Amino acid sequence: MPGNADPPDDAYAQARICFEIIAAALAEAGASLADVVRSRMFLTSASDIDAVARAHLEALGAARPASTAVVTALLDPRWRIEVEVEAVIGEPG
């Protein structure tokens, strides 16, 4: 978050922020969310999966990556979700 501000408490809003950050990082690498082939979502509560899945579908629905969700503790207790992705950039070979 800018200026180390607290993230929103809502899991959906946090997931949207994660995907915005990911989209910006991919753009810097010359890629987009459409290039994502795998996603991993780390949630602090299984009850957040519907909200996080909604944000995931909105961000990555067109790419249809292989996806995994894991319930775990996160280092920053203000966050309920962390997302990592893998993307393929450019033509193989």
pLDDT one-digit tens code per residue, 10-60: 999 999 999 999 999 999 999 999 999 999 999 999 999 999 999 999 999
Any idea where the domains of the chain sit in the sequence? 7-87
Residue 82 vs residues 33, 64, 65, 89: alpha-carbon distances, Å: 16, 19, 17, 23
Q: pTM surpassing 0.85? A: yes
In 1-93, which residue ranges form alpha helices assigned H by DSSP? 11-28, 49-60
- Report the distance separating Cα 29 and Cα 1, nearest Å: 21
What type of residue is 31? A
> Top-level CATH class of 7-87?
alpha beta
Is 90 within 8 Å of 26 (Cβ atoms)?
Answer: no
